[in-house]
Amino acid sequence: MKHFLLIVSLAACAFTPVPCVAQEELDPVFAEWQDRVDPAVEKALDYLSRVQKPDGSFPENFGESTGIPALVGMTFLSKGHLPTEGPFADTINRCIDFILKNQKPDGLFHKGHAGSGPMYAHNIATLFLSEVSGMCDPTRQKKINVSLPLALQLILRAQAVKKDDRNRGGWRYHTGSQDSDTSCSGWALMALRSAKLNGAAVPNEAIKEAVDYLKRHQHKKKGCFGYTDYEDHARSLTGMGLLCLELCGEHGKPESILAADYVMKTYRELPGDQFEFYGNYYNAQGTFQIGGRYWNEYANWMYETYLKKQNDDGSWNSSEAGRIYGTAIMALAFTVPYRQLPIYQRDETVDESEE
């Protein structure tokens, strides 16, 4: 009955996006790069739109999973493009429709090869639907209002699987996994945070347990976050930990400062890492949230480093998961200061009210 009431309350929510910032309110650091970033991002969007398949999926690595269309869909939203109008409306809607068509009866968004496991793609797909909810035409919005609560409930059930103290509160590759990792958990937490920001009845305790899980995987002295330990893949994961702390009521606290300082010490070593693009995406988000000298320094380095690595066709090559993934996640990093996505808002209100 508790699960049923949660689903009903989620379905009844009016998912509405956070108001976007006006163009003149753009971050001053980004303003210096905008003339170069704007055309690069539009070129990337043109590329992604061109290579999309008629059913909404994409070629190359994991393109037929629900995760890649979700990442691509968020990329268009992050530049202010909408599913109801404009040159990329059909592209965004195909992403939405592909994900909705590939939801299992238990709520899982899953099709094709999901890489590290179905929960990874599911979390990203749930985040995308939460972000786009409130922007769609009435027919698609009605479908999302049914689909999204089931997806969120699945994330909550997967978190509630009995685990030991080290893994409690997190997520792993499968719905019944009894262990956790910080990467999959970061996407799940962002999906829950996004839905809560949009009015869904996501329990505060679920957010708290996820944050507590992440804190248990932060090196107490160095400030970095590891994958299943304190330091494994730290250069590509610490930005994720920083972002999650910042979004979930830990803004400017000692743990966040330690994480941000670690990012500043290590980001120049990121190029060539196994998960370079992933690390850059989260570093951009995390440093933007904490702001100040962290974002100033990181943004200047990111744009200087990666603008010149864009291919003539608008894509970026990613050794970790191919061109579609690489192009989407690089463009998402570039567009963080636009704050067009609700998840990009600098917002500290998510955990202020109790259910």
Q: What are 64-85's pLDDT values in tens digits?
A: 999 999 999 999 999 999 999 9
Report the pLDDT value the prediction gives residue 25, as an integer from 0 to 100: 64
CATH of the domain at 150: 1.50.10.20
Report the pLDDT value the prediction gives residue 23, as an integer from 0 to 100: 43
Euclidean distance between CA atoms 125 and 195, whole angstroms = 12
Q: Over pLDDT 90: what percentage of the chain?
A: 79
pLDDT digits (tens, 9 = 90+) for 247-274: 998 888 999 999 999 999 999 999 999 9
In a domain, 240, yes or no: yes
- How far are the Cα atoms of 129, 189, 328 from residue 247, in angstroms, in the given order? 19, 10, 22
* Structural domain for 35, as ranges: 21-344
pLDDT at 156 over 50: yes
In a domain, 269, yes or no: yes
Tokens 């730290």, residue located? 234
Report the pLDDT value the prediction gives residue 115, as an integer from 0 to 100: 57
Q: Are 299 and 36 in contact (CB under 8 A)?
A: no
In the structure, what pLDDT confidence band is assigned to residue 114 with cuts at 50, 70 and 90? low
Euclidean distance between CA atoms 250 and 60, whole angstroms = 38
**Per the structure, how many domains does the chain have?**
1
pLDDT at 5 over 90: no
In a domain, 325, yes or no: yes
Q: How many CB atoms lie within 10 A of CB 105?
A: 6
Euclidean distance between CA atoms 34 and 244, whole angstroms = 27
Q: Are 206 and 171 in contact (CB under 8 A)?
A: no
pLDDT at 312 over 50: yes
In the structure, what pLDDT confidence band is assigned to residue 113 with cuts at 50, 70 and 90? low
pLDDT digits (tens, 9 = 90+) for 26-64: 688 889 999 999 999 999 999 999 999 999 999 988 889
In a domain, 81, yes or no: yes
Q: What is the mean pLDDT of the chain?
A: 90
Q: Over pLDDT 70: what percentage of the chain?
A: 88
In the structure, what pLDDT confidence band is assigned to residue 345 with cuts at 50, 70 and 90? confident
Report the pLDDT value the prediction gives residue 6, as an integer from 0 to 100: 46
Q: What is the mean pLDDT of residues 11-25?
A: 44
In the structure, what pLDDT confidence band is assigned to residue 117 with cuts at 50, 70 and 90? confident
Report the pLDDT value the prediction gives residue 320, as an integer from 0 to 100: 87
pLDDT digits (tens, 9 = 90+) for 124-136: 999 999 999 999 9
Euclidean distance between CA atoms 118 and 136, whole angstroms = 26
pLDDT at 116 over 90: no
In a domain, 199, yes or no: yes
Report the pLDDT value the prediction gives residue 321, as an integer from 0 to 100: 87
In a domain, 266, yes or no: yes
In the structure, what pLDDT confidence band is assigned to residue 1 with cuts at 50, 70 and 90? very low
Tokens 């393109």, residue located? 63
In a domain, 182, yes or no: yes
Q: Are 158 and 140 in contact (CB under 8 A)?
A: no
Choose among 218, 174, 219, 169: nearest CA to 192.
Answer: 169
In a domain, 349, yes or no: no
Report the pLDDT value the prediction gives residue 28, as an integer from 0 to 100: 86
Report the pLDDT value the prediction gives residue 16, as an integer from 0 to 100: 44
pLDDT at 313 over 50: yes
Rg (CA), the chain: 19
